[in-house]
Amino acid sequence: MVTILLATLNGEDYLKAQLESIAAQTYENWQLVVGDDGSTDDTINIIEEFSEKHPDQVTIIKNDPPQGSAKDNFISLLRNSYGPYFMFCDQDDVWKPDKIYLTLQKMESLEARYGDKIPILVHSDLSVADSNLEMIAESFFQYADIPKRIVLNQLMVQNSVTGCTVMINRCLQQYFLRELPISKIIMHDYWAALIAKVFGKIGFVNESTMYYRQHGNNSVGAKNAKNPVYLYHRLKEGKNSYRRMMIESMEQVQGFVDTYGEEIDSLDVYELLACYGELYYKGKLRRLSFYKNNHVLKEGNVRKLMQWLWG
């Protein structure tokens, strides 16, 4: 069975299409757990109507008080749900019919090879679409110019795991049951990717399993990294904005080491993470030396340039 975790907040415009795409999955042994964060539109009614059609498969949690962010909502859902496998689901996307099947197939092959006693994360490519589901790009990874192959040196500074494509196993879920430095976690999917990379395995389905709808109100949207207009605005945001994001990534890694450091078997991995977590307190030359010597660099020439200039 697969437990689908859906975080909602005023999602009436696109929620029905997402729910219908879940109901149309070729893999039918799913449970849907919805965490609503205080919607004031028709979101709850839409979910309840869907629940009436699938009475044994839907659980609705009304957060009171609200969790306050998508990250907090998803982490709360993960902590209060059960199952061997969990998938993250956004309220405004549309899943292709084989999404669960293909992702679970990859997960089961990894567990057959490595066992289910290690944390495993599986993610996939996705198609970028506009608000009307008209295609913008067949491949999100090509569109955003991010790597499919995940190495820890790069993951620390740049997440390339998209949460709405993710499935994790029960072993990885257990890492979320600890006392977590919530304020230092950038996003739930980023934290899950770090856990899987340090302690387990990450698998990738090299095809699009869903439509990633872009409508202007996305919590995290798809950006065309090769578009000159995007690059201009990104550079225009300037040094302070970039440094703030770099500090956030360092604080996240610092929180990761504080939480799980005693369990990291590899001294090299521990030192890499620990040094990066403390890096912003060092001088600029020390930071640049660390990036170069440890190959801690973002993907893409413009991203690398900003990292050398402002990181």
Instruction: Report pLDDT for 231.
Output: 61
Residue 297 clears pLDDT 80, i.e. is over it: yes
Q: How far is CA 163 from CA 39, 189, 257, in A?
A: 22, 5, 22
300 pLDDT tier (thresholds 50, 70, 90): confident
Residue 218 clears pLDDT 70, i.e. is over it: no
pLDDT in tens, 40-68: 999 999 999 999 999 999 999 999 999 99
Residue 232 clears pLDDT 90, i.e. is over it: no
Residue 225 clears pLDDT 80, i.e. is over it: no
Neighbouring CB atoms inside 10 A of 246's CB total 19
Instruction: Report pLDDT for 190.
Output: 98
pLDDT in tens, 204-217: 999 999 999 998 66
User: Where is average pLDDT lowest: 24-28, 85-89, 138-142, 296-300?
Assistant: 296-300
* Dist. CA 30–CA 174, nearest whole Å: 20
